[in-house]
Amino acid sequence: MKIKIFDESHEKDLEEDISKFIEEKNPDIIDIKFSVSCSLYAEEQIYCFSALIMYK
């Protein structure tokens, strides 16, 4: 089993990265874990969209 981790500040960038990975590698995907976190810096909200793909 192998894993690939993606981390982006915008959900569309995460979608593009994952789609590109699947297109190029054509992996046998076992599972995908998705996470969103949010924090505040001064008056700005900062988002982090991440995914972990387990594949063969």
- Say which residues have a Cβ less than 8 Å from residue 56's Cβ, sequence separation at least 6: 1, 2, 27, 28, 30
Per-residue pLDDT reduced to its tens digit, 4-47? 999 999 999 999 999 999 999 999 999 999 999 999 988 899 99
* Residues, the chain: 56
- pLDDT value at position 12? 96
- pLDDT value at position 42? 87
- Stated pTM of the model: 0.84
